[in-house]
């Protein structure tokens, strides 16, 4: 699997910022399996440092033995220099602990690198570090910096397909004048393919190379199978079945008109507390994202969220399509891709884009059956409503209900329509959801 630096330039900029930070601590790069963590760290090491020492604790189980005798950073550096044949020096060598979840003591050693040897440039990555963060008693809380890596966004997908000029055009587009129609239609077509391919780097690279949706689907199914193997290998034995059940329920739940996760759909007597641990495990692993109901949109939204009522989205829209066996033929139907199974793909896509563009949590709003808004966006000084439509509908009932109750300065809508500003309503085409502007022009 290969992809260009430009596809993930945002993560490289964040890694460079970490490197030069005055308050730098050892870094943990979080993310689901196969989102490109190893590639990103190796590229960073090769381009930003004189040397790179790479250790993979999954491929070489004996590496853990080095951490049995000592967690002293200077002793470890001596040992690891001998093992790798690389003179690990402060500042100019990047030391990478990959799949570090396989060696808890290596994970714990980051605390001592922070406290006693902070001049060493140490980064760690692993597929289930979120789970380890929640479970390990010796986890170095407060002693590490975190970065999250997500599947490729739609803009990164454009770069992968050689559409960098189109990406830059959108990034530099700062008016509400409509996008020229030929470009708008081209972007809608590319977005349809993104809904199928998704943002998993291997799937994107395969599509860029072969243009074959069938090859993409085979890769997606392999990824889904690998995730289920992770359940059996890493999850608590008493939770494996529940985790698998929740995982296979996501696309069914999103297919409902009301996408709220309903436990009675699993079985009639199922209750939320029975599956709470399973859902948290999947969330910690980065495989799902929860969007909580907020009935009273006040700052901070997290304080007003209902922890018992939520939607669940998959980490990647392409994997959602694969999980639901969505046919590649859907691409050929006029805009059918966007409305397939109750607009689930569209809403999952928007959730994915929001998280990848620094919106850390997801929330939605309802008003006693009168109206529902798909997302609430927490700006610096205001909370904005966002309504998502899979087609070109200009209906705005829910937005107007929200406006009457809370009088926000902006009403946001994402559809297949072109850019449009009509009074307080700002329509963004779905392909520009990452470009939401949360202040008046």
How would residue 165 be classed by pLDDT, with cut points 50, 70 and 90?
very high
Complete domains list, the chain, with CATH: 5-148 (3.40.50.300), 154-435 (no CATH)
How would residue 334 be classed by pLDDT, with cut points 50, 70 and 90?
confident
Per-position DSSP letters for 222-238, written without gaps between them: HHHHHHHHHHHHHS-GG
pLDDT of 237 above 90: yes
**Quick one: average pLDDT of 416-436?**
96
The chain-wide mean pLDDT, for the chain, equals: 93
CA 140 vs CA 24, 134, 143: distances in Å? 14, 11, 5
Of 430, 166, 162, the closest CA to residue 317 belongs to 430
What would the two tokens of residue 28 be? 């943990």
pLDDT of 22 above 70: yes
* Residue 348: count of CB within 10 angstroms of its CB: 28
Residue recorded with tokens 């390990």: 136
How would residue 183 be classed by pLDDT, with cut points 50, 70 and 90?
very high
How would residue 440 be classed by pLDDT, with cut points 50, 70 and 90?
low
pLDDT of 393 above 80: no
pLDDT of 1 above 50: no
Q: Tell me how far the alpha carbon of residue 138 is from its chain's centroid.
A: 26
pLDDT in the model for residue 4: 52
**Quick one: average pLDDT of 365-377?**
92
pLDDT in the model for residue 368: 80
Percent of the chain's residues with pLDDT above 90: 83
Distance CA 61, CA 312 (A): 35
Q: Strand order in 93-98's β-sheet?
A: 51-56, 93-98, 121-125, 27-30, 145-148
**Quick one: average pLDDT of 156-168?**
96
pLDDT tens-digit readout, 52-89 = 999 999 999 999 999 998 999 999 999 999 999 999 99
Element (H, E) at 319: helix 317-323
| pLDDT, greater one: 158 or 395 | 158
pLDDT in the model for residue 132: 67
- Strands 372-373 and 375-378, by their bridges, are unpaired
pLDDT of 2 above 60: no
- Strands 121-125 and 93-98, by their bridges, are parallel
CA 426 vs CA 82, 301, 371, 401, 410: distances in Å? 60, 22, 19, 16, 7
CA 296 vs CA 99, 204, 247, 365, 385: distances in Å? 41, 40, 30, 8, 12
pLDDT tens-digit readout, 23-59 = 999 999 999 999 999 999 999 999 999 999 999 999 9
* Residue 343: count of CB within 10 angstroms of its CB: 21
- The three-point CA angle 309-363-387 to 5° equals 115
Lowest mean pLDDT among 17-26, 66-75, 199-208, 388-397: 388-397
Query: Residue 7 phi/psi, 5° resolution?
Result: -60, -35
* E-strand stretches of 262-374: 288-294, 305-314, 362-366, 372-373
pLDDT tens-digit readout, 267-289 = 888 899 999 999 999 999 999 99
What would the two tokens of residue 423 be? 């009074």
Distance CA 152, CA 148 (A): 12
Distance CA 40, CA 8 (A): 8
pLDDT in the model for residue 133: 63
């Amino acid at each position: 699997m290969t992809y260009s630096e430009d596809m993930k330039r945002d993560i490289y900029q964040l890694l460079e910022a970490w490197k030069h930070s005055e308050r730098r601590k050892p870094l943990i790069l979080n993310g689901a399996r196969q989102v490109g963590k190893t590639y990103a760290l190796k590229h960073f090491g090769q381009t930003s440092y004189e040397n790179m020492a790479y250790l993979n604790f999954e491929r070489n189980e004996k590496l853990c033995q080095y951490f049995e005798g000592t967690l002293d950073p200077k002793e470890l550096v001596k040992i690891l220099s001998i093992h790798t044949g690389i003179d690990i020096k402060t500042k100019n060598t990047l030391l990478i602990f990959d799949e570090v979840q396989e060696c808890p003591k290596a994970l714990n050693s980051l605390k001592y690198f922070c406290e006693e040897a902070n001049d060493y440039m140490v980064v760690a990555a692993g597929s289930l570090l979120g789970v380890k963060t929640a479970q390990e008693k010796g986890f170095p809380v407060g002693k590490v910096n975190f970065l999250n890596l997500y599947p490729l966004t739609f803009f990164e997908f454009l770069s992968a397909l050689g559409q960098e000029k189109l990406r830059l055009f959108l990034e530099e587009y700062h008016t509400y004048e409509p996008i020229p129609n030929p470009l708008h239609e081209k972007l809608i077509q590319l977005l349809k393919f993104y809904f199928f391919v998704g943002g998993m780097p291997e799937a994107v690279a395969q599509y860029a190379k072969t243009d074959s949706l069938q090859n993409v689907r085979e890769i997606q199914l392999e990824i889904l199978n690998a995730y289920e193997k992770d359940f059996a290998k890493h999850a608590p034995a008493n939770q494996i079945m529940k985790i698998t059940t929740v995982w296979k329920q996501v696309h069914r739940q999103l297919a409902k008109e009301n996408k709220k996760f309903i436990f009675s759909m699993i079985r009639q007597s199922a209750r939320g507390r029975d599956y709470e641990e399973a859902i948290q495990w999947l969330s910690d692993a980065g495989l799902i994202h929860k969007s909580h109901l907020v009935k009273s949109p006040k700052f901070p939204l997290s304080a007003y969220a209902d922890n018992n009522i939520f939607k669940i989205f998959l980490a990647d829209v392409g994997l959602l399509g694969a999980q639901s066996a969505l046919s590649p033929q859907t691409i050929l139907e006029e805009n059918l891709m966007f409305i397939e199974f109750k607009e689930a793909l569209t809403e999952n896509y928007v959730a994915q884009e929001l998280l990848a563009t620094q919106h850390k949590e997801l929330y939605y709003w309802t008003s006693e059956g009168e109206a529902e808004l798909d997302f609430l966006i927490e700006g610096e000084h205001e909370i904005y409503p966002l309504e998502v439509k899979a087609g070109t509908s200009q209906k705005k009932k829910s937005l107007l209900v929200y406006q009457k109750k809370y009088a926000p300065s902006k009403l946001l809508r994402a559809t297949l329509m072109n850019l449009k500003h009509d009074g307080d309503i700002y329509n963004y085409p779905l392909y520009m959801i990452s470009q939401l502007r949360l202040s008046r022009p």
